[in-house]
Amino acid sequence: EDQVTQSPEALRLQEGESSSLNCSYTVSGLRGLFWYRQDPGKGPEFLFTLYSAGEEKEKERLKATLTKKESFLHITAPKPEDSATYLCAVLPAQTSGSRLTFGEGTQLTVNP
Amino acid sequence: KAGVTQTPRYLIKTRGQQVTLSCSPISGHRSVSWYQQTPGQGLQFLFEYFSETQRNKGNFPGRFSGRQFSNSRSEMNVSTLELGDSALYLCASSLWEDTQYFGPGTRLTVL
């Protein structure tokens, strides 16, 4: 069974304090790993797609990396507006279509 | 380009009633997926439609159903509502089997 585990469940940072969020996955073949940001009461907002181990993608203060067993979302010098829940999801290779398996998310709070 | 839209945004129903939620995908996207999000279970996959055909189905009872129209718009229906069906229902669209873009969701409250 496909599994995605995110850690920590919650993270509180001071503005400018860099950190990383972890997403560990167990899947029989990976077609893609996705990172989303979700604000309270809203739908997830797409951040990154990673397809193969060693791949990295960046966007502003965020950088996502992928290995064969986990992905990291690095946040450099975060600002209060980065506060949100960050979700990781996998798309297994053995299933057709677009069925994503999500982790529980990491709730990030950045204090000014 | 307009994003995924969902209507209604909020809905209050009573147990035993049925409800229909609507989703309009991003223009040109042919795949529409539905997810249920609750505090205890997180985001769980309901079903996916592609070219009016159900391509995948999650582990939800038969009370949950959906369909897709020729213009790719999709609806999901929940019959005989239960208290546990209270959740944020999210629709996502994609071009093929790739990145999914989510709508704002429909918040369903069952009393």
How is chain B classified by DSSP, letter by letter? ----EEE-SEEEE-TT--EEEEEEPPTT--EEEEEEEETTTEEEEEEEEETTEEEEE-S--TTEEEEE-TTS-EEEEE-S--GGG-EEEEEEEESSSS--EE---EEEEE-
pLDDT at A97 over 90: no
pLDDT of residue B40: 85
pLDDT of residue B96: 79
Average pLDDT, chain A: 96
pLDDT in tens, B28-60: 999 999 999 999 889 999 999 999 999 999 999
Residue of B nearest to A98 (CA): B97
Cβ B56–A97 below 8 Å, yes or no?
A: yes
Cβ A31–B97 below 8 Å, yes or no?
A: yes
pLDDT at A61 over 90: yes
Cis status of the peptide bond prior to B61, with omega within 30 of 0: no
Question: Cβ of A9 under 8 Å from any chain B Cβ?
Answer: no
The shortest CB-CB distance from B42 to any of A36, A45, A102 is to: A102
- Tell me which of B68, B102, B106 to substitute to probe the interface with A (most A C-beta atoms closer than 10 Å): B102
Cβ-based contacts of B6 with chain A (< 8 Å) = 43
Cβ B43–A95 below 8 Å, yes or no?
A: no
Cβ-based contacts of A87 with chain B (< 8 Å) = 43
Residue A109 — pLDDT band, cuts 50, 70, 90? very high
Phi–psi pair at A81, nearest 5 degrees: -70, -5
How is chain A classified by DSSP, letter by letter? --EEEEE-SEEEEETT--EEEEEEEE-SSEEEEEEEEE-TTS--EEEEEE-STT-EEEETTEEEEE-SSEEEEEE-S--GGG-EEEEEEEEESSS-S---EE---EEEEEE-
pLDDT in tens, B65-102: 999 999 999 999 999 999 999 999 999 999 977 899 99
pLDDT of residue B105: 98
pLDDT (average), residues A30-55: 96
Q: Which tokens in the block code for residue B88? A: 């944020």
Q: How many CB atoms lie within 10 A of CB B108?
A: 20
pLDDT of residue B98: 84
